A and B are shown apart, each in its own frame.
Chain A
Amino acid sequence: MQLYKIIYSMFGKLISHSWQMMRRSAFFEKSMFAKGFIAFMVFFAVMQLFGLGRVLPVILNENFPDRAPAEWVYGVLPLILIADITLRFFIQKFPARHVKPYLHMPVQRGQLTIYWMTRSWLHPMNIYLLFFFYPFIQMTINPATSSQEAGLLGIFLLTGVNHSLLMLIWSPGKSGKWLGMFLLFVLLLTGLSYLWIPDQMMKYSLDFFLAFVYLKPFAFLLPILLITILHLVIYKQIGKNYYEVYEAEEKTEKAAEESFIERIISNVPEYGPYWLLEWRLLTRNRRTRTSFYSYIPMAMVYVIFAALWIDEPAKTSLAIVYLIMASGMGGLHLQHVYSWESHFFDFLASRDFSFETFIRAKYYFYLLLSGIQLLLVIIILIFLNPQLLILMTALTVYAAGLGFYIYFRAGIRHSSRMDLQAKASFNMEGVSGMKLLIGILQFFILLPLFIVGFIIPVPFGESILIAVVGLSFIINHRSWIKKLGHRLEARKHINLSLYREK
């Protein structure tokens, strides 16, 4: 009993630290406006999911009357789970840094492991799907004959298996990873089976979900058993591999070698050294690397989704979401323009260094990336949905013109020293309310352009108008970059003092 009390007390303390960590995160140090805006965006995202769950049955009924909406959605649960785990790969990491400060203390490692595993469950990725399924289940499951709550619990358990699977793969150590990879392979195989036997797969998936709502014990037992087994493996694996938390730091990083791409970049006339610096900044730091390598593939996945599913009336929302993708390099890099350099801004500021050339080189670098992204988009759309080609091209041009200009302009006032090794995804560190507002200007500007473009009697009017706006900024880039160079030079001392303060 005494031992239980000690364990419980320490575990409770650790969990309370989790709460403090969240409550005292940098997010709450932002201005009221930024907090309000971010809270609104979260609320908006939740409402989007909620709304989708509410209207999807109606849409499916109208467009695919041969099957009930429930069959469509519950019939593709494995595919939903594959999409879910893919998303988790980018967003969810094993919370290793949470236990590091306790490792040298006289805290039982077993307790730490349990805390570690419990802590990993406190992640929005474990509930976001419920916001979609809650209304969808209400619309599709009859409460008189079955349990809606059980259906929701079933979804939670299934995504819980995904969570456990990912935690096993991300947790320190290798021994249990084979099990994780095997289960992942089984999940992917299940998804691929839809290509060969779609009707049977939909039936199996539907039957399995119905087993939840009809309260069949085996339906619950299966995911619970899987979650339990996976957690036991994780527990054992972590216990054996605590050293990895520190050893990862001790291991000498692979010696930096000049890669083929670096050799090409360094030979670019005039901008070579700047591009090489940008490339190394992006590829040699955790945070920049994660976003750099994930954004173009994410944009491509979205384009495929849009090409297959989005119809004419949904064009505006498509445009806004794609714009986030198209200017992804902006969202995750240019949003923090010059802030990545905040760690060596003193170096830049103390050398004979032209900020104008520096910004221009940076702009050309991201323009090139946008070009690569556009090329891939064009290839995808030629095969899947050529009708969207003009709009997508226009949006990419718009993002690379006006969008990038706005990010570069907002970046001048950047004042936070960014942590290049912090968690990459959805990290709003250093984004003040004003910067955020300036950053989203490009989305607000897009809406009137859509309206005007719709009114003018020219085919693809809105796309042409959007492209013209973007193109005008691309053509005039030398002029606005020159002004921004002067502004950054003039603000150099303020930024430097703010970097040092924070």
Chain B
Amino acid sequence: MNIHIRQLKKQYSGHTVLDIPELDIASGELLGIVGNNGAGKTTMLRLGLDLIEANEGHISIGDEKVNEGTHWKRHTGSFLDEGFLIGFLTPEEYFYFNGEVYGLSNAQVDEGLGIYKKFLSEDILGTDKYIRQLSTGNKQKVGIVAAMVVNPSVLMLDEPFNFLDPSSQIIIRNMIRNMNKNRGTTMLISSHNINHLADICSRVILLEKGLIIKDIRPDDTVRLEEVEAYFASQAG
């Protein structure tokens, strides 16, 4: 499913936090969004999920503007932060409820979870713990799996590598790569870590103070080095 951004602007108290005149993300593209804190990554994803209102412009998923309909939600999986989780449910209950709202039966959810069993460590499934009792890393895993298990056509994840141990980071990289490759899912993944994104993304945009200042293909190593040089210069 394509994603189109047109004249998108978000302001708070007159201060522009995101300004994207035009951006097209092709169906099946795996777009990495990289930037420093406050660059506008989360704002962009929240606008993409219609969780906040744009001052100008719009984002479309497929042919539908996200702020004008809800059909796109059936095809979009997402996890941005803990606010997406329902803390008083167990992970299993959350997966089933999440599956239900996407029209999946419990059996289908169970089948889907099979793929992610390795990622969902023993501390998560079958422990009778509520989500609120899980560690931050495990909460992150539950949120990511819930977003992926519904087999979405579009997937949006905010900082999915945060709070995860090195093994889990490698597993999630593979999960994202496989899903994108096998199902052709269009993906928007934000991260601070250029290397993670360079490894899996077919395209990376660099956001700075709400503006896209670079739009590159990671196989272009020269330009990736440029991005690293840019962050190094920002660090002084």
Which residues of A does B touch, CB under 8 Å? 10, 13, 17, 20-21, 24-25, 100-101, 103-109, 243, 245-247, 250-252
Contact = CB atoms under 8 A, between A and B. Distances in A.
A246 B52 contact: yes
A250 B100 contact: no
Contact of B86 (A17, A107, A109, A243): A17
Contacts of A13: 97, 100
Nearest to A17: B86
B51 A243 contact: yes
A25 B88 contact: yes
Interface stretch (B77-85, B112-120, B209-217): B77-85
B183 interface: no
9 closest A-B pairs by beta carbon, nearest first, are: A106-B73, A243-B53, A246-B51, A24-B88, A101-B86, A21-B88, A106-B74, A105-B101, A247-B52
Given A10-B101, A24-B88, A104 B13 contact: no
Contacts of A246: 46, 51-52, 83
B213 to A, nearest CB: 21
Contact of A106 (B51, B84, B101): B101
Contact of A243 (B15, B52, B98, B101): B52
B43 interface: yes
Nearest to B73: A106
Contacts of A100: 83
21 contacts: A13-B97, A13-B100, A24-B130, A25-B88, A101-B83, A101-B84, A104-B84, A105-B101, A106-B74, A106-B102, A243-B51, A243-B53, A245-B51, A246-B51, A246-B83, A247-B52, A250-B12, A250-B46, A251-B13, A252-B13, A252-B15
Interface residues of B, number: 27
A100 B12 CA distance: 21
Contacts of B52: 243, 246-247, 250
Nearest to A20: B88
B221 interface: no
Interface in B42-95: 43, 46, 49, 51-53, 70, 73-74, 78, 80, 83-86, 88-89
Given A106-B70, A245-B51, A247-B52, 13 more contacts: A17-B86, A21-B88, A100-B83, A101-B85, A104-B78, A105-B73, A105-B98, A106-B102, A107-B101, A243-B51, A246-B83, A247-B53, A250-B17
A455 to B, nearest CB: 53
B75 to A, nearest CB: 9
A108 B74 CA distance: 11
A103 B50 CA distance: 9
Nearest to B17: A250
Contacts of A104: 49, 51, 73, 78, 80, 84
A252 B14 CA distance: 11
Contacts of B49: 104
B146 to A, nearest CB: 10
B70 A103 contact: no
Contacts of A106: 70, 73-74, 101-102
A269 to B, nearest CB: 38
A41 B98 CA distance: 38
Contacts of A107: 101
A374 B49 CA distance: 53
A108 B12 contact: no
Contacts of B98: 105
Nearest to B67: A243
A315 B53 CA distance: 57
Nearest to A105: B101
Given A104-B78, A106-B101, A251 B51 contact: no
Nearest to B97: A13
Contacts of B46: 246, 250
B76 to A, nearest CB: 8
Nearest to B146: A105
A251 B102 contact: no
A42 B229 CA distance: 63
Contacts of B130: 24
A128 B165 CA distance: 50
Nearest to B85: A101
A100 B49 CA distance: 13
Query: Which residue among A24, A104, A106 has the maximum number of chain B CB atoms within 10 Å of its CB?
Result: A104
Nearest to A249: B83
Interface in B92-145: 97-98, 100-102, 130
Contacts of B51: 103-104, 243, 245-246
Nearest to B49: A104
A436 to B, nearest CB: 22
A246 B53 CA distance: 9
Nearest to B103: A106
Contacts of A108: 70
A13 B17 CA distance: 37
A109 B74 CA distance: 14
A103 B70 CA distance: 11
Contacts of A250: 12, 17, 43, 46, 52
A17 B88 CA distance: 8
Contacts of A17: 86, 88-89, 97
Query: Which residue among A24, A106, A108 has the maximum number of chain B CB atoms within 10 Å of its CB?
Result: A106
Contacts of B88: 17, 20-21, 24-25
A124 B83 CA distance: 26
Contacts of B13: 251-252
A86 B83 CA distance: 31
A209 to B, nearest CB: 41
Contacts of B84: 101, 104
Nearest to A250: B52
Given A10-B101, A100-B83, A109 B12 contact: no
Contact of A251 (B12, B70, B101): B12
A245 B86 CA distance: 16
A395 B53 CA distance: 53
Contacts of B15: 252
Contacts of A101: 83-86
B151 to A, nearest CB: 13
